[in-house]
Amino acid sequence: MASKGRIKEMSVKNFLFLIKKLNRQGGFKQIKILGGEPTLHSKFGKMMNILFKYVPQASLFTNGLFNDRVSLIIKKHVPKLQLIINIMTPAYQFNTILRQKIAARIREFSPFTITALSVIVNPETDTKTILKTVEADTLKYVQSIRIGVSNPIMGEKNTYAFRNFPHIGKKVLELISGFKKIKQNLIFKMDCGFTRCMFTDGQYKILQESGIYYLWGCFQGNLIGCLDVQSDMKAITCYSLSEAKKEDLLKENIPTVEKRLFLQQYLYQEQHLMESCKDCKYRKGKEKCKGPCIGFKMNAFSYANRGRSNKISDSSAL
């Protein structure tokens, strides 16, 4: 609901306009409510009432630290409103009292709607601390865990290099193994940006045995149909391109915006290829890996070549 450095909140008027437009033109299968922290929106209750007049289901991404007033609003819309709790916040990781409050919310809503946890990894992620903070009593109320990779924003500096990719795969497997020791029947989902080369063949087999069949790289098999609408009504295709090309949904129809943004994302993806990806067996094989996150590739390209070449070397990732 909020855009970095821009309008703090999407207005109710624009939200209604957007939802009607999505309902009329978009035909979207999933609606995700994100922030910042969306439950802090001053008109959160009114927004949810509008949303569920037009869509059958939505996911709310939250830190879980909402008050009782917000809790009542959410309860009004479950099970249509599903909860994704981010457990990577300082509040959850380092504050025992706040972590207990978040765990209480998970227990509160689990009987009424799907409740999932969200975890983000990078090569330096302390998986032992993450696993230590999620108690068995909390995890038994959770149906699934979403694991994402810390993708950079295009135009900023990458915080890790291509050579660090295997460390990311190792962190993912540590989390899956650790969580399954606590609760065996958890469902695991992986967000965009992971590459096949992050995982050894043995690790990949474990992913498959855990029920994860992943479409590697950007797009994840979705050619057109993913829009991220910021609070100023500007649309982007993904967080990593949030400072790149945008389209104004107040002025353009959704199919036109989708096609323009997809074309730009496709061009970024196809015109900039890391050297290690050129002859990679996972790119040309059945996995059809599209390589790292676009933001990662474009930052590496910009840093190494200053616009002179489309080649991106391994050492140019930082």
pLDDT tens-digit profile of 94-136?
Answer: 999 999 999 999 999 999 999 999 999 999 999 999 999 998 9
Using alpha carbons, select from 194, 208, 299, 233 the residue that is nearest to residue 18: 233
Helix, coil or strand: residue 21:
helix
Q: Is the pLDDT of residue 241 over 50?
A: yes
Q: Is the pLDDT of residue 305 over 70?
A: no
**211 cis-preceded (ω within 30 degrees of 0):** no
CB atoms within 10 A of CB 174: 16
Beta-strand ranges (E) seen in the chain are 32-33, 58-62, 81-86, 115-121, 144-149, 187-190, 228-229, 234-236, 247-248, 273-274, 311-312
Rounded Cα distance between 209 and 214, Å, is: 12
CB atoms within 10 A of CB 43: 15
**pLDDT at site 306:** 54
Is 317 within 8 Å of 162 (Cβ atoms)? yes
**pLDDT at site 27:** 67
pTM above 0.75, yes or no: yes
CATH superfamily of 12-317: Aldolase class I (3.20.20.70)
Using alpha carbons, select from 117, 55, 110 the residue that is nearest to residue 87: 117
**pLDDT at site 4:** 52
Q: Is the pLDDT of residue 310 over 70?
A: no
**pLDDT tens across 135-182, in order?**
898 999 999 999 999 988 888 888 898 899 999 999 999 999 999 999
Give me the residues paired with residue 86 across strands. Answer: 118
**pLDDT tens across 261-277, in order?**
888 887 877 777 787 78
Q: Amino acid identity, residue 49?
A: N
Q: At 258, is the pLDDT very low, low, confident or very high (cuts 50, 70, 90)?
A: confident
